[in-house]
């Protein structure tokens, strides 16, 4: 069965510090991968998605970036965090060949607080 | 424009009451998929159901049921005989292509004992 791992679970970082969140998927090949952000009390905002190694699409301009160095690894980064980067970050995967009917399967999330 | 509206920000019920969570969507596409997710206090989103735009048949799964009506662009979710464990934030989502899933703002359901 497929599983998704995301870490760390919580993170407190000062403004201006770098960020690296990692997500890995097991049990499937060539998944589509996603990073979402959920601000407190709000819905989910798609930040990045990837359909293959090295292929990253950005949905929202910001000081965050994403990379996919391996088929089942997705990394969210920032060189300098802003206060507004605080939130709950969720990684998700879907079947690469599944099309529109493929649900997204989410990790447990990372709660980031920028101080 | 593709959009999902969940007008109910918070709902509070007493255990064993029935509760309906509303979801209204907007899209110009004729082929699309609708989803419901549950986000318990632990934070992960749990996939509950998927429905395609050509299948308006209502679905029941235990205490959960879903009412899809294309005429009103709605995909409402009803929990019958609610339980405390149903307390969570529920998200409705619309997917029109492989990489574009739009979520509503979510409805926080609190079930009191």
* Residues in B touching A111 (Cβ below 8 Å): 43
Q: Shortest CA distance to A102 belongs to which of B46, B52, B27?
A: B52
Q: Do B91 and A32 touch (CB under 8 A)?
A: no
Query: Each residue of A52-67: pLDDT tens digit?
Result: 999 999 888 678 999 9
Whole-number average pLDDT of chain A: 92
* Residues in B touching A51 (Cβ below 8 Å): 98-99
Query: Each residue of A13-66: pLDDT tens digit?
Result: 999 999 999 999 999 999 999 999 998 767 899 999 999 999 999 888 678 999
Per-residue confidence at B38, pLDDT binned at 50, 70, 90?
very high
Q: Do A51 and B99 touch (CB under 8 A)?
A: yes
Interface of B with A in 7-36 (CB under 8 A): 31-33, 35
Query: Each residue of A80-92: pLDDT tens digit?
Result: 999 999 999 999 9
Q: C-alpha distances in angstroms, B22 versus B25, B36, B62, B103?
A: 10, 11, 19, 13
| Of A60 and A94, more confident | A94
């Amino acid at each position: 069965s497929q599983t998704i791992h995301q870490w760390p679970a919580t993170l407190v970082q000062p403004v201006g510090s770098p960020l690296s969140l990692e997500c890995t998927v097991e049990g499937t090949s060539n998944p589509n991968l996603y990073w979402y952000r959920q601000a407190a009390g709000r819905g989910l905002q798609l930040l990045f998605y990837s359909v293959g190694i090295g292929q990253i699409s950005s949905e929202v301009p910001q000081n965050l970036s994403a990379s996919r160095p391996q088929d089942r690894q997705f990394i969210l980064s920032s060189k300098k965090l802003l206060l507004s980067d605080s939130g709950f970050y969720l990684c998700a995967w879907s079947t690469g060949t599944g099309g529109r009917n493929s649900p997204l399967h989410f990790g447990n999330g990372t709660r980031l607080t920028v101080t | 424009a593709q959009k999902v509206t969940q007008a109910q920000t918070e709902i509070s019920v007493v255990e064993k009451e029935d509760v309906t969570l509303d979801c209204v969507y907007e899209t110009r596409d004729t082929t699309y998929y609708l989803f419901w997710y549950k986000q318990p206090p632990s934070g992960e989103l749990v996939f509950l159901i998927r429905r395609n735009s050509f299948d308006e048949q209502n679905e029941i799964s235990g205490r959960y049921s879903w009412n899809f009506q294309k005429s009103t662009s709605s995909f409402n979710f009803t929990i019958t005989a609610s339980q405390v464990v149903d307390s969570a934030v529920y998200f409705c989502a619309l997917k029109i292509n492989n990489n574009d899933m739009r979520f509503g703002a979510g409805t926080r359901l609190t079930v009191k004992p």
